[in-house]
Structure 1
């Protein structure tokens, strides 16, 4: 990721918040055959008794072809989480500030995947379904037909990644004056081509964080 130390996001809880809110991620592996990338949803798991309580632990699954393609368990992988992002127009800046930018919240997480047992994999698959179904009017569970669900699960491989290190950025116009940030937020909340309420929320949170000392810039 581009070296922008003034936008570093070092708070583990903020990184967890990003992952929880934006679980669809990209897995990148440097294999004997070259670079391989795949896309899967991840859940946060509570650290185990032997883990650092501040460690980020990820669980997910991949299709069996991807297990081989990524050489999972043999080396470190990179998992990329992308939060709210979008174009920031200089139309929202004072006239003398005419260079646009792209605001974003991004986290790169590295770790070596642990292959889960069939039972653990099925548990994680069930938790993934329950996590996303919880907002539905009538949530569906794998327990509707566990036998069929278990047969389907055999085509997947569960993984756990204890994140060894992360590099996260919250580039959210922290380098702009408060009155300019207000105009940016108004533009993002408007009805123009670059409207993005989620990004507006993130910019506002970053501004609040600046006033209370959160190290996001």
Structure 2
């Protein structure tokens, strides 16, 4: 992803927030036959305060990706969408696409079966929620034998990226008035996630 200083996102807390809110990522690796990609959910490593992520892939995706042996590119995609030049006023302009995204690169560490089970348990716990009918990884009828058999069909990993590129392109190159018009337009169209990210970026610009 080509970086632009005007749109660079370098704050670790903001990148962590992006990952936490957008856990469904694309994993890209260079295999002998060419580029390969898979899609899985990841989480921030709860024992770290950096950009280390944990996750798992199903077999044989580990072999296809060369997990643990080759560099892995993790693409995190946040809110994004089309921006019409109508919102710029009566000036010569072209449409654009606003987005928030991060690329994390590095060679992942493979998890032991015990660590992988803990990550799987945490993953289910996060997305299952805590309602009265929530079903955790070890909730009947998911007995321990079944869960351990499930774990053997997956490979867990931990990735501490050695290279990070994060970008928040949210009309920071436009005037405050134009940004407010864009936010109003997105809100009127029901594209609240992108509008909220633009509001967050706009507020950061004026914060002392």
Structure 2 SS opposite 1:37:
strand
Cα RMSD (Å): 1.5
How far the C-alpha of 1:179 sits from its partner, in A, is 1.0
Give CA deviations for 1:132-174 in whole Å, capped at 9, x if unaligned. Answer: 1126563220111232222122111101111112000000011
Between the two proteins, the alignment pairs up a number of residues equal to 205
Compared CA separation, residues 29 and 84, structure 1 to 2 (3 A): same
**Match for residue 117 of structure 2 among 116, 122, 126:** 122
CA distance in structure 2 between the partners assigned to 1:6 and 1:63 by the alignment: 39
d(CA) in 1 for partners of 2:127, 2:56: 15
* CA distance, structure 2, for counterparts of residue 137 and residue 175 of structure 1: 48
Question: Which residues of structure 2 form unaligned runs of 5+?
Answer: none
Instruction: Check if 1:43 corresponds to 2:43.
Output: yes
1:170 & 1:136 partners in 2: Cα distance?
35
Instruction: Output aligned runs, 1:148-159, within 5 Å.
Output: 148-159=146-157
1:187 aligns to what? 185
Instruction: Identify which of 204, 213, 216 aligns with 2:199.
Output: 204
Match of 2:98 in 1: 103
Alignment partner, residue 147 of structure 1? 145
Quickly say closer, same or farther: Cα 1:135–1:83, change in 2 above 3 A.
Answer: farther
Equivalent in the alignment of 2:15: 15
Shift of 1:107: 0.1
Q: Is 1:160 the counterpart of 2:130 in the alignment?
A: no
TM-score, normalised relative to structure 1: 0.89
Stretches of structure 1 that go unaligned for 5 or more consecutive residues are: none
How far apart, CA to CA, are the structure 2 residues paired with 1:137 and 1:77?
38
Match of 1:94 in 2: 89
Q: Matches of residues 51-90 of structure 1 in structure 2 within 5 Å?
A: 53=49, 55-90=50-85
Q: 1:133 aligns with which of 128, 131, 148?
A: 128
Structure 1: distance between partners of 2:112 and 2:134: 26
SS at match of 2:60: helix
The alignment's TM-score, normalised by the length of structure 2, stands at: 0.93
SS at match of 1:158: strand
Give the conservation status (yes or no) of the 8 Å contact 1:47–1:56.
no
8 Å Cα contact 2:116/2:155 also seen in 1: yes
Q: Secondary structure at the match of 2:138?
A: helix
